[in-house]
Structure 1
Amino acid sequence: MTVHVVGAGVAGLAAALALVRGGRRVALHEAAPVAGGRARALPDGTDNGTHALLGANRAALRFLGQIGAREGWVEPEPAGLPVLDLETGTARRVALSPLGWGDANRRPEGVTLGSLLALLRLALPGPDRSVAAAFAGHPRLLRALVEPLTVAALNTPVAEASARLLGAVLRRLGGRGAARLFVARQGLGPDLVAPALATLACHGANLRTGSRLRSVTQEAGRATALDFGEAVLVLGPEDAVVLAVPPWEAARLLPGLPVPQRHAPILNLHFERVEEGPVRFIGLLGGLAQWVLVRPGGVSVTVSAADAAVGLTDAAAAARIWPELRQAALRFGLPGPWPEAPPPARAVRERRATPRHGLNPPPPPPRRPLANLVLAGDWTMPMLPATLESAVRSGEAAAAALSRASRPVPA
């Protein structure tokens, strides 16, 4: 019996790991030249964006532990997130968890009794509304904390982002250690994708890249063959499939499958810079850039919910963003020269980075649309933001669904 995992992004890797750990034989198929999906590294080893995990992302952190990669993830700002307000010039360290707001020096601007009650109301049942509407009476907290968290977690502008979904995110940040921020020391390629593939190889799983699934043959509610163009794999009665592909690919392969129709872009900009020093992570308010990740090998900047910015040329994006991050670097005393002229930079545009997390998220697609085929991918869990955490959770859920399907039915 073989389980064919189609798509070697994080969801597919998580599904494959859960399956091999459960004793299943796994074959991985990836259309791209390399594994990793949206988390894959660029040809020079640079990440596509500034990916981070929080202590609340227990599934993703557990996955890192299972593949022996946990030590590669460091906590760059244990004393609180450095945030520079480019409009006012105010620089401060902000605690991401409300448990740290007892210290006035680490409290976001705009925290009042009324704004705290507005945060608490997100956890209560009721009709969904936009994040902007939920905090219309608290503009300072919206700008200083809620909007940055919304675009980072939901990749959707606050005017349309679901307050109910943001509430699900904030509830997870209340526990002790839940708001600790971690980033990959070298990048997602060496600190996530490579160790995952090495672990899977140790369990006998094989990976075939450059292999795009053309179609799925169905008969009597089952997948009976996978057409990869150069080869058609006929599925035996005990074989199964995990389809861990983007929603538009899933809809192509399984016509009629309900999938998200609207997506939000992300613009990432990578500046060449070689300077020894610790890994740093900085937030920016009031500019184009939102998050700055500084590693010895370069500086990466992310613009989430980038509807207006994704069309900028590389040169135009660099000209706007470099002065912003340079100001933050100098203000927080980051080592090394920070010249006025921007160094060479490259933009990575993810035009369909995530589904748009608007009001009243749609119901999830069926986890098992065919008797021997299950779905994985962050988009299959609309009650969670499309992140590394939801990708891992979806892969584990897919593996669990196959395990349940294979159990004998009691007499």
Structure 2
Amino acid sequence: MSGAVAIIGAGYAGLACAVELARKRVPVTVFERSHTLGGRARVVAKDGWRIDNGQHILIGAYTEMTRLLRLTGGSPKVLAHLPLTLHTPGGMHLQAVPLPAPLHLAVGLFRATGLSWADRLGMLRLMRFLRKRRFRVDPQMTVHRLLGETSQPLHLSKLVWEPLCVAALNTPIAEASAQVFANVLRDSLAAGASASELLIPRVDLSELFPVPAARFLAVRRGKLRTGTAVDAIRRVSGGFRLDGDPANQLYEQVVVATAPHHAGALLASAGDCDRLAAMIDALPAEPITTVYLALGKSQHLAHPMIGLAGGPAQWAFDRGQFGGPAGLIACVISACGEHEALSREDLLLTVHAQLERELQRRLPSPEWSQVITEKRATFACRPGLVRPGPQTPVPGLWLAGDYLDSDYPATLESAVRSGVDTAARVLRTLSSVGR
């Protein structure tokens, strides 16, 4: 057989898998129904503006993402490296310092403004609680319960823990998994200043990794078929064929790297995957809404990223400070909430008023605005949630995606790690049959 591998989905997981396979000279073809690369982390062109379908950040601990950026020839300048900075206008300012853990956080806490000594001690108490337990907690524990058991002050929870939880897990603290949150804290706040650095893209999410990955594939004879929907996977003698593949090629291995709400139907079409497809279809989902406000070149935020305490938005990003248009502010609303009942116009007015209130200044009316909602942006990261692994009941048929079982919630890092892990499994399978 040819040893050819098909990857369905050109998001971060699928492209990470393709890059790793192409690096080993495996013939790989990536299918993507859209004409835009990136999946749920992609650029959107609207009215002459190029914006992301959602605001993503990475942290220094996300090593696989940065490794793949280097591997595919991406410039290190595409990521802005910022020290961990939590700034809420009129509320608090906390910035980690470039020292080994735990001094980077301890000194940052000592210098913080807007936090009482009870708040500072509460933060240290939570980190000490987790360190003592090697960052392992009751699998059924929620973040809300974790904060209660470590006696976190309400002020600290509102300004630090709740925004961090919803940003990382995209799940409200009352429902969010304390274990996954502990994993994120272990690899960020507890791991040193470089690991907790914020890495914010200066380019759109399609240019960040998908476009360099596509170029990487092209020079290694990999194929990328955009605008090509795969409707079904058919098992045939010697491997698989895909309904929708214009070449009708025989593939020895197939990787389903779509969003989970598309994966179930593809698995079901292959046969013998009904239970797995049902498990994936049952994964609860959470939305993310990003409100873009172009407020004019004279408008900027005090910091590239600020917290918003009054709702509905939890964070605001000054895209002008990351190489984007001056005055373009991206306000992020993670997880479900009352804002979902608002019309687009009312949501724009509400977020604009929230910015004015929290910045304590009048803002001009937007020159341009846009609301983008990913209704199923991530899985709801709840305690005890059963997430599938990369292997399916069908030999040669694999999964890749940010929803698969891992230490992390649904992030760009978990997506690329999943793609890399699945590629390693495919390579082992190919080598076991004589390649």
What letter corresponds to residue 294 of structure 2 in structure 1? E
| Equivalence for 1:227 | 243
Preserved contact between residue 266 and residue 349 of structure 1 (Cα < 8 Å)? yes
CA drift at 1:93: 3.8
Alpha-carbon distance change, 67 to 127 in structure 1, aligned in 2, over 3 angstroms: closer
Cα deviations across residues 221-244 of structure 1 (Å, max 9, x unaligned)? x8521111x7472425xx221110
Q: Of the candidates 144, 147, 163, which is equivalent to residue 132 of structure 1?
A: 144
Alpha-carbon distance change, 70 to 181 in structure 1, aligned in 2, over 3 angstroms: farther
CA drift at 1:37: 0.2
SS of equivalent to 1:378: coil
CA drift at 1:383: 3.3
TM-score (norm 1): 0.88
1:247 aligns with 2:260: yes
What letter corresponds to residue 146 of structure 2 in structure 1? A
| Equivalence for 1:19 | 21
TM-score (norm 2): 0.83
CA RMSD of aligned residues (A): 2.7
1:105 aligns with 2:127: no
Preserved contact between residue 32 and residue 209 of structure 1 (Cα < 8 Å)? yes
CA drift at 1:369: 3.7
CA drift at 1:148: 0.8
SS of equivalent to 1:266: strand
Larger displacement relative to structure 2 (270-279 or 344-353): 270-279
Cα deviations across residues 171-225 of structure 1 (Å, max 9, x unaligned)? 00122211100111132122332222222222222211121111111258x8521
Preserved contact between residue 43 and residue 53 of structure 2 (Cα < 8 Å)? yes
| Equivalence for 1:175 | 191
Alpha-carbon distance change, 198 to 310 in structure 1, aligned in 2, over 3 angstroms: farther
Q: Of the candidates 80, 88, 96, which is equivalent to residue 85 of structure 2?
A: 80
What letter corresponds to residue 134 of structure 1 in structure 2? L
CA distance in 2 between counterparts of 1:273 and 1:21 reads 44
In structure 2, runs of 5+ residues without a counterpart are 269-273
Preserved contact between residue 83 and residue 283 of structure 1 (Cα < 8 Å)? yes
| Equivalence for 1:335 | none
Cα deviations across residues 19-67 of structure 1 (Å, max 9, x unaligned)? 1111111111101121110111002421112111100111111111112
Alpha-carbon distance change, 171 to 160 in structure 1, aligned in 2, over 3 angstroms: same
1:391 aligns with 2:415: yes
1:186 aligns with 2:216: no
CA distance in 2 between counterparts of 1:112 and 1:348 reads 36
CA distance in 1 between counterparts of 2:206 and 2:59 reads 19
Preserved contact between residue 86 and residue 160 of structure 2 (Cα < 8 Å)? no
CA distance in 1 between counterparts of 2:114 and 2:214 reads 40
Give the total of aligned pairs. Answer: 396
Preserved contact between residue 271 and residue 345 of structure 1 (Cα < 8 Å)? yes
SS of equivalent to 2:160: helix
Preserved contact between residue 72 and residue 186 of structure 1 (Cα < 8 Å)? no
CA distance in 2 between counterparts of 1:114 and 1:83 reads 18
Alpha-carbon distance change, 288 to 226 in structure 1, aligned in 2, over 3 angstroms: same
| Equivalence for 1:323 | 353
Q: How does 1:10-409 map to 2 (within 5 A)?
A: 10-43=12-45, 44-75=49-80, 77-78=82-83, 80-84=85-89, 89-95=90-96, 99-103=104-108, 104-106=110-112, 109=115, 111-122=119-130, 123-136=135-148, 137-138=151-152, 139-173=154-188, 174-176=190-192, 177-218=194-235, 223-228=239-244, 231=246, 233-236=248-251, 239-255=252-268, 256=274, 257=276, 258-259=279-280, 260-273=282-295, 275=297, 280-296=304-320, 297=325, 298-326=328-356, 339-408=363-432
Structure showing the higher helix proportion among its residues: 2
Cα deviations across residues 294-353 of structure 1 (Å, max 9, x unaligned)? 12312211110133223432221211112333456678xxxxxx7343443110011111
CA distance in 1 between counterparts of 2:173 and 2:84 reads 28
Alpha-carbon distance change, 79 to 170 in structure 1, aligned in 2, over 3 angstroms: closer
